[in-house]
A = this chain, B = another copy of it.
Amino acid sequence: MRAIHIVTTRLSSSFRPILLLDLVSSCSPPRQFSIPRRLICAAANGGGRSGSIVAPLVTEEDFHKKIDVNPPKGTRDFPPEDMRLRNWLFNHFKEVSRLYGYEEVDYPVLETEALFIRKAGEEIRDQLYCFEDRGNRRVALRPELTPSLARLVIQKGKSVSLPLKWFAIGQCWRYERMTRGRRREHYQWNMDIIGVPQVTAEAELISSIVTFFKRIGITASDVGFKVSSRKVLQELLKKYGVPEDLFGRVCIIIDKIEKIPIDEIKKELGFTGISEDAIEQLLQVLSVKSLDDLEDIIGGAGEAIADLKQLFSLAEKFGYSEWIQFDASVVRGLAYYTGIVFEGFDRKGKLRAICGGGRYDRLLSTYGGDDFPACGFGFGDAVIVELLKEKDLLPELGQEVENIVCALDKDLQGAAATVATALRDKGQTVDLVLESKPMKWVFKRAARVNARRLVLVGKTEWEDGSVSVKVLSSGEQFQVKLSDLE
């Protein structure tokens, strides 16, 4: 009998209350939600359905009442300052993926609910952002990207050449009833390799994350990776005659080991029918922090030890030995992992997992497809920003505009448009002043957008086909023919 694989969110532990927005700008306090109830339409067919909308009765007075200006609970706006940080982060995700030769993919943010519901589903089941659509279909805002990847791989079938090396950056959702500032969405960077059974795949995935950390200034003294293999547990369970189909459930329980009291863990494991002996041995093995000690306990013949040894050997060749350590307690909260599992952690121990991943060789068959060897990781946008903030490594990102172009006279606004067009045709970024404004205002604007040059269009110069250019860093000013302006 085969192991059962359950889908829960790959990075549930980094789905955190901290807002990217909180960290870089202050958030206005929630205001009274004042849209009158009758403006919000209730459908007639079965209270609460998302049926067709009935034309609301709105009075002129209602109409101009202030709406709640905040984004829905648990979601974020990205005003320019936050968007710059998001782009900075995502560009590093993309650039690293590109360096490793991975191709970008994406899937719908809305999927069939069934894609995410599995036998031993954990947090995911309670926290799925699911609903019935207007056609009475059960759908969900995706909690993670891997099930969609599996669906697409099955769909593509034999038309793809393996291995696939894919990456994606997508928004993921969860729903919690008890929300106290907890986020309902985050973005997750995923990299996955489909079709490679060897540990070289996991080794490369960890290497790519290390490359990412280095690029943003994070070192091996800031973070590390705890690595283990689900095969350790599998071999132990086998030894005690525990049925293989309990494997996923046992992993889910063990993943909670640092979150709930040990007696609870024992009780939950007991419910699965595992003997007390086996539970004791299991918990003892989970505390092991060295591969040699593990080998002493479970023997060196199994795949678990061989895989882990190979991974540590490859880590050396990839050049990130100092970043990784064996830790038998790492099992990850996702039920679908079958081999190596790993998570990135901050060495100060203040934050939850920064990222996590592993091998999931039997996920595709849970969807009715043919299995392919596969592994991947998820890396959220929340914990990493917390860490960067703590280490004072958040970049200062201002708007960057090369030129601010301004007419000195209302009649010259057309001329200023001509100048702006000429510069843009040459690839120069231009903030064109669209109104007649005093010079004081223009200088303030130039400073705000970090303009490098101020290009002034004045009557006398323009009659000559020229403009005044002021280099804002030096104050240097000169006159130049439009055709010579670079």
Contact = CB atoms under 8 A, between A and B. Distances in A.
B48 A136 contact: yes
A226 interface: no
B113 A40 contact: yes
A475 interface: no
Interface residues of A, number: 135
Contacts of A317: 414-415, 417-418, 421
Interface string A285-323: 000000000000000000000000000011011110000
B69 A154 contact: yes
Given A106-B83, A368-B66, A434-B193, A417 B203 contact: yes
Interface in A411-459: 413-415, 417-418, 420-421, 424, 427-432, 434-435, 444-445, 448-449
A240 interface: no
Given A79-B105, A131-B133, A417-B203, A72 B156 contact: no
A87 interface: yes
Contact of A156 (B55, B79, B148): B79
Nearest to A71: B108
Between A46, A65, A109, A445, the greatest number of chain B beta carbons within 10 A of the residue's beta carbon is seen for: A109
Nearest to A449: B101
Contacts of A106: 77-78, 83, 86
Interface string A393-427: 00000010100100000000111011011001001
Interface in A59-88: 60, 63-72, 75-80, 83-84, 86-87
Interface in A362-377: 365-369
Contacts of A55: 125
Contacts of A136: 48
Contact of A67 (B33, B151, B418, B448): B151
Given A46-B48, A67-B114, A107-B77, A99 B41 contact: no
Interface string A230-259: 000000000000000100000000000000
A435 B65 contact: no
B200 A368 contact: no
B71 A101 contact: no
A418 B130 contact: no
Interface string A22-43: 0000001000011100011100
A189 interface: no
A112 B445 contact: no
A368 B415 CA distance: 38
Interface in A335-350: none
Interface stretch (A159-167, A326-334, A352-360, A383-391): A159-167
A140 B433 CA distance: 37
A186 to B, nearest CB: 12
Given A60-B245, A109-B109, A161-B445, 14 more contacts: A63-B366, A68-B112, A69-B367, A71-B148, A72-B139, A77-B155, A79-B156, A99-B430, A100-B424, A200-B434, A201-B434, A203-B417, A317-B415, A318-B420
29 contacts: A28-B155, A28-B157, A40-B113, A46-B47, A52-B126, A53-B125, A65-B368, A66-B368, A67-B151, A69-B369, A76-B108, A77-B106, A77-B155, A79-B105, A79-B156, A84-B103, A99-B430, A100-B424, A100-B431, A100-B432, A101-B429, A101-B430, A133-B175, A198-B413, A211-B424, A314-B414, A317-B421, A318-B421, A319-B421
